[in-house]
Structures are given as structure tokens and as C-alpha cells.
Amino acid sequence: MRFPFRKALLLCTIAAVGTGTAKAQYVGHVSSFVMDAKTGQVLSQTDADLQRYPASLTKLMTLYLTFRALSAQQISLDQQVPVSIHASLQEPSKLGLVPGTRLTVEQGILGLVTKSANDAACALGEFLGGGDEVRFAQLMTQQARALGMSNTTFRNASGLPDPDQVTTARDLGVLAQHLITDFPQYYHYFNVPSFYFHRRLVPNHDPMLKLYAGADGLKTGYTVVAGRNLVTSAQRGNVRLVGVVLGSSSNGQRSLQMASILDKGFASEGVAPQPLLHPVAPRTVLMASARRSRRGQHQMLLAAARPMEVADAPTAPRRYGHLVHHTASVRMVSVRHVATRRRAGHHSRG
């Protein structure tokens, strides 16, 4: 049986009060973790072993298993992934996949790293799990144990609320390190600024890519009960760090907290500080348009004043970064080129 979005949030909130797995959820009380991605040395940690809800950071494990299957040549980037009714019914953020259609593995990857698409995550999970997302979640948890993520349990491929789906800042740092070191040939996907899907431009929601010098991935996450979550990797000189922030109270605070812990990490490694690439408002201001929306509470919970900082918003922002390279199934162009074609009366295709 499926529940509307707001009912699901209510059930998850009740579960957070009444179950042992969720009693350590404190939105606004931040857990953080910083490590050297090359050496594994822990540079800083705050409540790094406190179990939290991962939200869309769950998709990092979905991507890990996808990359593992690609590396083992069990699947290919251009392989077709079927879209089930179950996958198409996932709550936003989503690509709007239609049941009975297909997308490529690469399109699924891009949908996860840019828009944090829950329907694409579910479709990939079912594909890799033999048609069963529950089975895939079991594989996710097994892989977590194999990587040393002892305090993590997965229940779905997307990160949509489940009271038993928990992780820690330390475990997510370990996962990020393995994504970087185990599959360097696929890490570039986390730095893709945008991609075309069915003639629609889908932007990357990760604010650190445009905010923090040297940042080149990985993932944002947000639900009401989890707060604002973020895993970021940044490289300056020969030093690459992985930072994790869980439970921030706003998008701006999340970005500033991540910048702060990474700055301290680089300083401890003898790397000179660099200023932020643009100012960040520490508090999130809800858009007036959300108040006027017929969807009301749903968008009020998810919409923010800075669209690029919303990990799981139901609609795409209108400002896009520059698109600079090509992949096997998705054509990348520059935003200036898009504007020129629009003035000329052409439509770009994905």
C-alpha cells in the first residue's frame, strides 16, 4: 500500500518518536566528519558515530553498486533499464519516468548525481536487484558491511523516509572514499553540472561545486526528519579531503558548515586557505511562490530561496551552469549555446 507524501512524512515522524533506530535524530544538531581521501586519516569528527537518516545520500550506495557492476562488465552504460510502476510512483525529486519506458544506465547515473531523482534510483535498484528493490536494499547493506560501514542499514535505493534506514557521518565518509578510490573512472559524473533528458535541461543541485574552490562532488540530501545532509570531496594541490555534514537546519548553514570543516582539514594538512567563490546566506528563506502553490505544504517543505542548494526539490531551477563535455548517451553544451539556439528558434535535444 502506498501513502501520499504528507502521510508518509507523518508516519516517519511518528516512527522517529517511537522507535529505537530513530531516537538519535536531531535536526539542527550536526554530525560531521573529515578524512584524507588518500590516506584514510581522520582529520576531524563531531558525533561521527551517531545514527542519522541519510536521505538522498543513500543514492551514494546505489551509485557504488552501479559502478561496481559496470567495472565487472555485468552491465554497460548504454544498457536499457526498464521503468516499473513502482519506480515511476516515487515521490519527488524525480525525472518523471513513465512506467513501461526505459532509460539507459548512464541516464540513471546522471539523474542521481544531478537532480537526485528518486524514480531513477528505484529503477536502477530494481534493475540491479533482479527486479526487486527490497532485494537491492539487502545488497546495499551487505556492501556497506564489506566496506566497514558497521552502523548503516539501507531499506531502499533512493533515501526516501524509512525509520530503519540509518547511517553515520563516519560511514558515509568511508563510502565516499571508496567511491573515489575504487571507481576513479566514474567519479567525474559527480562533477557534471547539467545534462539533457528528453530535451529538458536537468541541473546539478550540489552547491559546493560553485561555492568551494577544489570541490568536485559528491551528493546532497534532504528530508524533513533528516535535515540537510551533504557529502563533499575537494582537492587542493595534492591533498584530497572528504567531508560529511548531517542534520543541518538550512541549506546555507549546511554549505557554510561544510566549508568550515574542509578549511580546517586543509589547514591541518598545510594547505593555504582560499575564499568562498560567492557569499552564502546562512538561513534559508522560503519562496513566496511556494506559499501561493496549490501544492502548499509539500512545496513549502522543499522549496528554498537558492534553487541550486535544494537537493530534493520537486521542480528544476531556471539557472544552469556551463556544460562542457560529452558522455555516451547525453549531449553536453554550454548555456550560452542554449541561449543562442533559443533566440534562433531551435530546441536542444538530449
Helix, coil or strand: residue 81: strand
Helical spans, DSSP H, in the chain:
5-18, 59-71, 85-88, 105-113, 118-128, 133-146, 169-182, 208-211, 251-268, 288-292, 297-302, 335-343
Task: Count other Cβ atoms within 10 Å, centred on residue 1.
Answer: 2
**Closest to 93 (Cα-Cα) out of 113, 115, 110, 114:** 115
**Residue 236 exposure: Cα atoms within 13 Å on the Cβ side:** 20
- The catalytically annotated residue of 31, 32, 59, 233 is 59
Integer angstrom CA distances of residue 184 from 20, 52, 58, 193, 325: 37, 28, 20, 18, 17
Task: Count other Cβ atoms within 10 Å, centred on residue 57.
Answer: 28
59 is annotated as an active-site residue: yes
- The catalytically annotated residue of 93, 116, 233, 250 is 116
Grid coordinates of 262: 574542509
- The catalytically annotated residue of 32, 56, 194, 255 is 56
Q: Is 94 annotated as a binding residue?
A: no
**Residue corresponding to grid cell 513502482:** 86
**Residue 11 exposure: Cα atoms within 13 Å on the Cβ side:** 12
Grid coordinates of 277: 567563490
Residues with Cβ within 8 Å of residue 15, at least 6 apart in sequence: 22, 163
Helix, coil or strand: residue 36: strand
233 is annotated as an active-site residue: no
Cα–Cα dist 189/73, whole Å = 18
Q: Which residues does the annotation mark as catalytic?
A: 56, 59, 116
User: Annotated binding residues for substrate, as ranges?
Assistant: 219
Residue numbers belonging to the annotated binding site: 219
